[in-house]
Structure 1
Amino acid sequence: MDASLVTTPEARPGLVRWRYLWYVAAALIVLVVAILAGNFWFLDWVHVMSGVLWTGIDLFMGFVIGPIIRSVSVPVRKEIITRLTPVTLFLMPTLSIMTSTAGWFLAVQAGFTQLPWPQFGWIAAALALVTLMTIQGLGYLLPTSVRVCLELQKPAPDGPKIGRMMSRFYYVVASQGVMQIAIIVVMAKLATGV
């Protein structure tokens, strides 16, 4: 086998891939342009595309990748997580910021923030769901993923420590999936009229 294809822990790039910040910046520039342009269609496109990506990746990770990772051996799990975490470290927060920010500006543009109660309840539900998902994502899921990835990058990872860190992780991911589905219900209701 070609020695250049073998990846040693020393040759593997670090957890934070700073070059991904260019992609984050480009995505946020698109968001800002969509907001400043005042074009409803463009802003809606940014909201829907980032929401589809955020929801799709969340559901795929939670209900497909998660069970697979739990069922493979520790060395395979280590390889998957140490390759997946650097990508999701920038991707998921960017998608959640874009989706919720574009959604707020769409709600304002469409007049949804001026709705009387109980119709405004749909907007309140969307805000509550996105707030809960953001708190869980940035406050628990992301830091836990980083801690597990850092532990797995050690020459001798502490399996019981990783197990303790991940004990609630999959339940929180599942609750994110449920909230993602709930917000799709809310968005469908808003799109078809409240």
Structure 2
Amino acid sequence: MRKVTAGLFHSVDGVVSDPFLWQFDSFDEDLGKGMTGMIERVDTVILGRVSYQEWAGYWPTASVDDDFAGFINPVEKFVASRTLTEPLEWQNSHLIDSPLEDFVAELKKRDGGEIAVCGSMSVTRQLLFAGLLDELTLMTHPVVAGSGRRLFEAGDPVTRLSLKDQYKTTKGNVISTYSLLGE
């Protein structure tokens, strides 16, 4: 069975939106190596509508020398949206045509590599609470962002996690990978 993962840049105060506003100079070589490791395992990406629209407006014309552009443009992408319609313009992008949880459960059964939820907070939350997210990696930067969207919200269900791996980068980022407790 394929693994579904999500990785988000994260501030000490829990903000995950718009990391370009608070990452500053903390993106270091160690963090880059971790991102490269993720790219090497992933052959399918799931995006929410907002992330899809933001990324589709940038990555298709980004420099081909950029490692992430070389990964994200050709990779198979599935988009969770109730408002977008086919055909999607960004190469290898397809709308999810069934309930997200059902689609991901079926996708996990197909042959292939790792499935990554990229940049999509609501999709990450939905799959985590549905028990379909196998790993959640938070890349915590040494900064208090002050404002912005947080991954978790008041009223979320109590969900027990198990710390699978953790390390600190040279610039003080803490990379923590969790799974649901018992997995």
Which category describes the TM-score, using the shorter chain as reference length? under 0.3
Normalised TM-score (structure 2): 0.25
Normalised TM-score (structure 1): 0.24
Instruction: Judging by fraction of residues, say which structure has more helix.
Output: 1
- Specify the structure having the higher radius of gyration (Cα): 1
Instruction: Judging by fraction of residues, say which structure has more strand.
Output: 2
Q: Which of the pair has the greater relative contact order for Cα pairs under 8 Å at 6+ separation? A: 2
